Amino acid sequence: MEKVVINKDFKSFYQSKKVFLTGHTGFKGAWFLCWLQQMGCSIKGYSLAPESDQSLFNVVKDRITFENVIADIRNKARLKKEIIDFEPDIIFHLAAQALVRRSYEIPSETFEVNAIGTANLLEAVLQLKKKCTVIIVTTDKVYENKEIDYHYKEEDVLGGYDPYSASKAATEVVVSSFRNSFFNIEKYSVHQKAILSARAGNVIGGGDWSNDRIVPDIIRALQDHKTIAVRNPNAVRPWQHVLEPLSGYLTLAMFANQDYQALSKAYNFGPNANDHLPVCSLVDIAIKCWGEGTWKDTSSKDQPHEAGLLKLDITKAKNELQWHPKLNSSEAIEWTMNWYKQGDSFDFTIEQINNYQAI
């Protein structure tokens, strides 16, 4: 019953809300556009253009009504103007350089986009003369990962080995600084800005075509009838379907709008404690769902460092937000593979959103 109530509340709460969504041309952003549209939101998206014609955004954009701003999060003046002109009720900040391996190639740009880009957004919010809830999306990789069998909690020490992880930890510091300095919770009745961060686990789902991510690598190999190259087969990750963290962001913004001062200021969104899979298991399940395929271990001592073990503790989201994952890891993989088997499809994307809400 509780799940039904929360889904019903989504529709009643978000109907006609003005939502400013950064990163809307990305994989998660495109799914979010579809879901926000389904709930009747007025949406302005702000992001760079998609990196390829194959992107999910290009599949769905003509079927959705929204304001489409193609611009850089580092363009502070443009970002400020778009936010102030739109006067959003809610901001979901997803725009980021989101790839670990790419961060080794463009480290300073990764920090600039992720940390300074977030500072630009929050500085713009300073000029917003109305109530607004801001959800800054970071990552499960913000923690100082000791590579031990431990589920990281929101209060644990932040850190980051690679530039991507470190830049996202820096983003969390930026958020904390702005919240303390300009949006202090003790003065919420004056500024009326709720600033929270959301740390999501490894997200999978249909429509992800990024380089150097495991699911797109699997799909490209399977479609070309090639052996799947797997860099880190024994690495353990908190896999979750893309709709899981998006439902977390929606829940967090809704709760913050109603009772911000009673909430914590950061939340993990990921799978249940006993549902963290190694990469090799994900690949095996994906091959089974596809109906054919093989893989090989291509690990190398010369490859850039990526974490070998990472788990999240989602107790806080469960207790304070009544949020919990609806799909286990195997189901998330199955949903993902079904999307790719259907082909690039707006209708199937909407069908999966509706099916997810019905669970």
164 noted as active-site residue: yes
343 phi and psi angles, rounded to 5 deg: 85, 175
DSSP 328: -
Alpha-carbon dihedral 177, 182, 187, 192, rounded to 10 degrees: -110
Catalytic pick among 46, 164, 267, 356:
164
Question: Residues 6 or more apart from 88 whose CB is under 8 A from it?
Answer: 18, 19, 20, 44, 128, 132
Residue whose C-alpha is closest to residue 144's, from 110, 174, 168: 168
Of all helices (H) and strands (E), which one includes residue 130? Answer: none
| Amino acid at position 114, single letter | N
Alpha-carbon dihedral 283, 286, 292, 294, rounded to 10 degrees: -10
| Amino acid at position 154, single letter | E
68 phi and psi angles, rounded to 5 deg: -110, 105
- 77, burial (CB in 10 Å: exposed 0-12, middle 13-18, buried 19+): exposed
44 phi and psi angles, rounded to 5 deg: -120, 125
Residues with a catalytic annotation lie at 164
